């Protein structure tokens, strides 16, 4: 079985194998998104943290598809209150939802959300190793680089790593190349760049620095990579 990985701009990806998995579907309001929320079909949605550019259209798409949203426990309480099935889990654990295994990994990032003008805790930021049809895909979420990425590589040997490279809020190209060195995936795909002016770091710079550790595939929004 192969898995088709489509970049929907920013941190949003669609994984298509025997099941369709949507990660961080920030679609409406995302200037780089090639699709509309109503065009997306999913069996399960995974959300790395509560920030708006990651929760995105999760609730609307979950309602339209009758599918669950997997996320950290506290965020699941917030999203679950909107009338969808939210599956809460936590860092270090693996949840199997609709035959897809989600292992939640740490991320170095904040994750509070603003609800009616107040800052509210939504748990902490995370990443996922998604295992679909035997293919392991690590979505790092929003994060700085940290040495335990080596542990993620050792434990889960991801085939593909989706890494933020845009800087300002996350790793930039230099830090993301160090992440590739620590994780050693077969393929790295840069994300979380180019959406807004402050995250206009160069994916080419990431490719130049990371290519000695793995294959680097630069996608345009809407493009796919098949593994």
Of the two residues 51 and 178, which places its CB atom closer to Ni ion in the complex?
Answer: 51
Nearer to Mn ion, 31 or 134 (CB): 31
Number of residues that bind Ni ion (CB under 5 A): 2
CA distance 217 to 227: 12
Query: In the complex with Ni ion, which residue's Cβ is closer, 192 or 207?
Result: 192
Build a one-symbol-per-residue string for 140-159: x at contacts with Ni ion by CB under 5 A, - elsewhere: --x-----------------
3-state secondary structure (DSSP) of residue 214:
coil
Q: Which is nearer to Mn ion, 47 or 137 (CB)?
A: 47
Binding to Ni ion by CB under 5 A, coded x per residue (else -) over 205-224, reads: --------------------
- Which residues from 48-77 bind Mn ion, rule CB under 5 A? 53
Q: Are 35 and 8 in contact (CB under 8 A)?
A: yes
- Residue 208 near residue 180 (C-beta atoms within 8 A): no
Region from 65-73, 92-100, 138-146, 193-201 binding Mn ion, contact rule CB under 5 A: 138-146
CA distance 186 to 157: 9
DSSP 139-197: E--S-B--TTHHHHHHHH--SEEEEE---SSS--HHHHHHHHHHH--SEEEEES-SSSG
Q: Which residues bind Ni ion (CB under 5 A)?
A: 51, 142
Q: Which residues bind Mn ion (CB under 5 A)?
A: 53, 142
């Amino acid at each position: 079985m192969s898995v088709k990985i489509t970049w929907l701009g920013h941190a949003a990806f669609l994984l298509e194998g025997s099941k369709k998995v949507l990660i961080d579907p920030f679609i409406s309001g995302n200037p780089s998104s090639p699709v509309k929320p109503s065009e997306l079909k999913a069996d399960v949605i995974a959300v790395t943290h509560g920030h708006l550019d990651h929760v995105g259209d999760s609730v609307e798409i979950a309602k339209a598809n009758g599918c669950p949203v997997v996320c950290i426990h506290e965020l699941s309480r917030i999203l679950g209150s909107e009338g969808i099935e939210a599956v809460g889990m936590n860092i270090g654990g693996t949840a199997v939802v609709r035959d897809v295994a989600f292992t939640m990994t740490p991320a170095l990032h904040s994750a509070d959300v603003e609800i009616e003008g107040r800052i509210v805790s939504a748990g902490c930021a995370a990443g996922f190793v998604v295992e679909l049809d035997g293919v392991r895909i690590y979505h790092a979420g929003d994060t700085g680089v940290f040495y335990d990425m080596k542990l993620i590589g050792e434990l889960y040997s991801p085939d593909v790593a989706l890494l933020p490279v845009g800087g300002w809020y996350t790793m930039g190209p230099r830090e993301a190349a160090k992440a590739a060195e620590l994780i050693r995936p077969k393929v790295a795909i840069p994300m979380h760049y180019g959406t807004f002016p402050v995250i206009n770091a160069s994916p080419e710079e990431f490719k130049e620095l990371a290519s000695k550790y793995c294959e680097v595939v630069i996608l345009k929004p809407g493009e796919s990579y098949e593994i």
